[in-house]
Structure formats: structure tokens, C-alpha cells
């Protein structure tokens, strides 16, 4: 999705080119709701969002407060059919199985942490807790390996030009 949108230093969403107009769901969101709804879409659902470490529900809450200065329930049209279509399209166009696996691992780590926090330590469950902590450690290590792969892909895409002209192209252009 990086080729469709860029984010300025001030946080404004900028359309990269007219390619955006070819994707009806994004054009409709931008035309009907404006910049903030597109910003919400990108920050909540983009694989490279700065909020990517949070679970989806935490992301939605944080982004709503940061973008709209409101809770999700107070933001008009976030659950509209038009917004739902745009979210599904965005997810579909950026699907990457490695990133999807990373997201699943992140969700499971969150679930493990919540479960571990709620479980009191006793002699009856100490073995269960110990096994769960070891499993959590393995999942965390696996997730970190996935993170390295994802970051490497991101860096390689930047190195390949990232949609901008190379120095040679600028000189010859």
C-alpha cells in the first residue's frame, strides 16, 4: 500500500498518484469522509503501521484517540458499509502470509499474557504455568524471526527504489 499513500511529517495522508482513483473503495472513503478516515484505515490496517505491535482492538482505540481525539464508538461512520468495504480491500491488496503469521503470533502472545496474568500461582498449577511460559518464549522467538524477515523485506523494497527515481534516473531524466 505504500505506493498509494504517503504520510507527511505533519501526519497528513498524501495520495501518491492517480492510481488511487482506480480503487473505488479508497476513492469513495477519501471523497465522502476525508483525510482522517483514510488515516485511520492506514494506521489500523497497514502491516507497517507504527501501531502494528498492538492487537487490532488496541490499535483501533489508540488510532481513534490519536486521529479523531475520540473513542471508536464516538467516531461517526467507522462501521459504515463503505468503510468496511475499504478495510477489506486494503487488507486484500496488502496480504502477505509472513505478516499474517506475525499478526497471529502477536495475538497469541497477547492471549498467553492475559491468561498468565489471571492465573494465580499454586503448587497445583506450577507445572502448567512453567510449560505455558516456555511455550510463550518459543512463540516470542518465532515471532521475532518473522519480524526480522519482514523488516528485511521492507528494507529491500526501499533499496529497490520504493517508487522514487534513482540518482541515475534523475541525472538522465
Distance of CA 76 to the CA centre of its chain: 21
- pLDDT tens, position by position, 20-49: 667 889 889 989 998 889 889 988 988 778
pLDDT value, residue 166:
39
Q: Is the pLDDT of residue 3 over 50?
A: no
Confidence of residue 83 (pLDDT cuts 50, 70, 90): very high
Instruction: Report the chain's C-alpha Rg in angstroms.
Output: 20
pLDDT value, residue 49:
82
User: What CA–CA distance (Å, rounded) separates 49 from 40?
Assistant: 10
Domain extent listing, the chain: 5-93, 97-163
- The predicted model gives 76-98 an average pLDDT of 90
Question: In terms of pLDDT, which residue wins out, 8 or 136?
Answer: 136
Nearest Cα to 86, choosing from 42, 36, 35?
42
pLDDT value, residue 109:
94
pLDDT value, residue 159:
41
Output the nine-digit C-alpha cell for 148.
Answer: 526480522
Give the orientation angle of helix 35-45 with respect to helix 81-93, to 10 degrees: 50
- pLDDT tens, position by position, 105-161: 999 999 999 999 999 988 888 899 999 999 999 999 999 999 899 888 877 655 433
User: What CA–CA distance (Å, rounded) separates 15 from 2?
Assistant: 10
Amino acid at each position: 500500500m505504500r505506493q498509494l499513500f504517503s504520510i507527511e511529517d505533519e501526519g497528513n495522508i498524501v495520495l501518491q498518484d492517480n492510481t488511487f482513483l482506480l480503487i473505488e473503495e479508497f476513492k469513495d472513503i477519501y471523497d465522502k469522509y476525508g483525510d482522517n478516515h483514510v488515516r485511520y484505515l492506514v494506521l489500523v490496517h497497514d502491516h507497517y503501521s507504527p501501531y502494528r505491535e498492538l492487537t487490532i482492538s488496541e490499535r483501533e482505540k489508540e488510532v481513534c484517540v490519536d486521529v479523531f481525539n475520540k473513542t471508536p464508538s464516538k467516531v461517526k461512520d467507522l462501521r459504515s458499509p463503505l468503510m468496511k468495504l475499504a478495510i477489506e480491500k486494503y487488507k486484500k491488496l496488502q496480504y502477505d502470509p509472513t505478516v499474517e503469521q506475525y499478526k497471529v503470533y502477536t495475538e497469541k502472545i497477547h492471549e498467553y499474557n492475559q491468561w498468565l496474568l489471571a492465573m494465580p500461582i499454586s503448587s497445583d498449577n506450577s507445572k502448567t504455568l512453567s510449560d505455558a511460559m516456555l511455550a510463550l518464549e518459543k512463540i516470542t522467538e518465532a515471532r521475532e524471526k518473522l519480524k526480522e524477515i519482514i523488516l528485511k523485506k521492507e528494507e529491500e523494497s526501499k533499496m529497490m527504489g520504493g517508487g522514487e527515481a534513482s540518482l541515475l534516473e534523475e541525472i538522465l531524466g
